Structure 1
Amino acid sequence: MTDLEFSDSVLVDADADALYALVSDVTRMGEWSPQCRACWWDEGAGPTVGAYFTGRNDDGTRTWETRSRVVAADSGREFAWVVNEGWVRWGFSLQPADGATRLTESWAFLPAGIEGFHGRFGAKADEQIVIRTRAAKEGIPVTLAAIKRTAEGG
């Protein structure tokens, strides 16, 4: 794994299908993520491959929106999306583990994203990439802990 990829896992005392229903409902992401404030599906869309949604993020210094497309929607197994048509890939995978479910959240800054950041931020692109990388690495464990609390009824 490179510095531009990260994943972390947590064991959740919940059925994989029930847990999948939570993580594939992007409208709930604002409840769990330290940076994402809200997500909403395009009119008529839902958690199926090819569906689009918008996310609103806030890092304390600025607020911005992203456009994402679902790239994996395999109930009880995997839910994933790409931001800006392939700049970043986020996802959740689920695996049975000792009577529970291992929930893994993953993040990868893709080559198109590196190129896109250089086009968007110019000389400040590398600084922005470091900021986004740090946010993902710090945010994933927080998000997983919050999803676990929700799934386990806490």
Structure 2
Amino acid sequence: MTESLTHAESIHVAADPETVYATVSDVTRTGEWSPICRECWWDAGDGPRVGAWFTGRNVTPDREWQTRSQVVVAEPGRAFGWSVGPGRVLWTYLMEASDGGTTLTETWDFTPEGQAFFIEKYGDDAPAQVAEREAAARSGIPETLAAIKRVIERG
């Protein structure tokens, strides 16, 4: 596995890009929209800035785990993203003004480094584990975007 696995989808949100950014960059609200991540918290004194660290608690029917992430892009009204691991998976929200609101795009990039980690961790089961994560991203991104839209538009 030498290439990133990527997926991205978009949705229109009836709010300006700054409002959308303020919402998605508040990782403490992630549990309001993510189908897997139940909560996130910043390291003491941190917030949505490049270099900041946070922890996420994830839950599926089969397991519960925590991840450590570092913010890699924080451009108000434009983009917010973080690296899980770091370096294993990159998640990014992109905002673009459109039709009196914002086109919000969520991207997922499972890096070659992340895939190598899975090979080391899971051995022969790595391809199945990678496929499971890819399927979760493909189904989770539209669900997440729809939930963010609901959260923002209901005020």
Q: TM-score, normalised by structure 1?
A: 0.96
**Shift of residue 3, structure 1, vs aligned partner:** 8.0
Secondary structure of 2:9's partner?
Answer: strand
User: Shift of the alpha carbon at 1:50?
Assistant: 0.3
2:90 is the counterpart of 1:83: no
Q: How does 1:113-152 map to 2 (within 5 A)?
A: 113-152=114-153
**1:111 is matched with which residue?**
112
Residues of 2 paired with 1:124 and 1:138: CA distance?
21
1:22 maps to 2:23: yes
1:4 counterpart = 2:5: yes
Q: Deviations over 1:31-54 (max 9, x none)?
A: 101111111100111000000001
String of CA shifts for 1:33-84, please: whole Å, max 9, x gaps. 1111111100111000000001111121100111000000000000000000
Paired AA for residue 26 in structure 2: D
What secondary structure does 1:43 align onto?
coil
Between the aligned partners of 2:60 and 2:142, the Cα distance in structure 1 is: 16
Structure 1: state its 5+ residue gaps. none
Percent identical pairs in the alignment equals 52
Q: CA RMSD in A?
A: 1.2
Q: Which residue of 2 aligns with 1:31?
A: 32
Question: How many residue pairs were aligned?
Answer: 153
